[in-house]
Every structure is written in C-alpha cells, then in structure tokens.
Amino acid sequence: MREPFEAESGDIRTGAHISNSVSNADAARHRWFTIKEAFSSSILDNALTEHGADASTTVLDPFSGSGTTAVAAAMRGISCYSIEVNPFLEFVARAKLTSASPLEIERATHRIADEMKAGRKSPLEGFSTFSKKKGAKKWLFNTSVLRAFEAGRIAASSLNADLKKLTTLALLDAAMKCCNARADGKCLRYSKDWKTTNYGANDLVEAFVAKLGQI
C-alpha cells in the first residue's frame, strides 16, 4: 500500500499515548479523515522509535483499518505492507497516502464546488433512511445535501486517480459533517437539534472546500 508522497507540514504528535484517534485530529495526514476506533498515531510513532525502525525496516499490519500504521511508517520512509478486508477503510488509507500539487487541488476544488452548487438527483433519495420520505421520522441527510454530494461525486470521478482519491475523501468527510446523525462507536446517533440544524447544500460545499484546503 506504500506510495511516494511529500510530507505535509507539521509533525505527528508524540507523548499522547492513548489508544484511540483523539490525537489524530491535528496530526498531519491522519486528520484528513479520522475514524474514532483507530489507534493514535503517536503510539505508532513511539513504537517505531523504540524499536529503532529506519529505512531498512519493513512493517506488516494485517489489520490496517484506516491506515494509521501505513501513514506513520511512510512519514519516516519505512516500507509497510498493510492488509484490510473493509473496502471503505482500504480506500481511506490509500487516500491518506496520496499526493497532488496544491495547484491541482485548488483547481479541482473550484470545479467540483461549482458542480455541487448546481446539484444532481441522488439514487439514495427515498432509499432506507438516507433521505426524508413519507412516514419517516428520521433521516440521515437532507435532500439538498444528497444532491450536492452526488454532483460532487460525479465531478470527482472524472479526475485523475490521485485527485479522485483526495476529492472523494474530502466529500465523504464533508458529508459526515452534514449528516443528521453522528458516529458514536459502531453506530450513528441523532443529535437532539438535528431538525433545527437543517443542513443544506451550501453547508456541504463549505465543509468540502475547507477539507480540501486542509489537505
């Protein structure tokens, strides 16, 4: 899973030896998409230091998850073989190991944001609890959010492989920020004020642009 990339400015946090992803929220690359159940990048960085890992070291992670180990190793120029059965998590890991020039990302940001503002009917409208439908008391996404996401997804699919990974990752992160429920362990829980929050297409576009700005 290892791919070459330029290191993002900022160092992985050290000293915060915790067994969850709390410290990853401000750690380079790890913060691009955080999974609550992931290990702290600082634990892995500390482990690599304690074992004297260097460019001649090879790391094996048979349960890669969202790629915390692979990213921590790659930032130190260490080869890492990762295995992950979940295709979504495998995508997240690969995206975190991907690079593109700032100019390419900026151009893609404007192009996709414009498409998102126009919107496109989503195949998820009316499916299960993804959107509002007759008789439903709760739904994960407001219709305008789903349509902005679908337009962005289609626009991202036409980009080169690296930009597609990065923009899709940003779209997914933005979507979760505009979801009426929040990840809580292995499930989603609706916040008490989800109806009054009333996320819309503009909220998704803003979250998407902000995430790509971070990337």
What pTM was computed for the model?
Answer: 0.85
Q: What is the residue type of 144?
A: S
Of 47, 102, 104, which is closest to residue 72 (Cα–Cα)? 47
Q: State how far the Cα of 185 lies from the Cα of 66, in Å rounded to an integer.
A: 15
User: Which strand (E) or helix (H) includes residue 48?
Assistant: helix 41-50
Give the integer Cα–Cα distance in Å for 151 and 101. Answer: 23
How far CA 1 is from CA of 24, 80, 85, in Å, comes to 20, 7, 13
Q: Render each residue's pLDDT in the chain as its tens digit; 215 residues.
A: 434 444 444 444 444 445 667 777 788 898 999 887 788 888 888 888 888 888 999 999 999 999 999 999 998 999 999 999 999 999 999 999 999 999 999 999 999 999 999 999 999 999 999 999 888 899 999 999 999 999 999 999 999 999 999 999 999 999 999 999 988 766 889 988 998 999 999 999 999 999 999 99
If you write DSSP's letter for every residue of 121-184 in order, what string do you get? --TTTTSTTSS--TT-S--SS-HHHHHHHHHHHHHHHTS-HHHHHHHHHHHHHHHHHT-SEEEE
**Surface-to-core class of residue 123, CB atoms within 10 Å of its CB (0-12 exposed, 13-18 middle, 19+ buried):** exposed
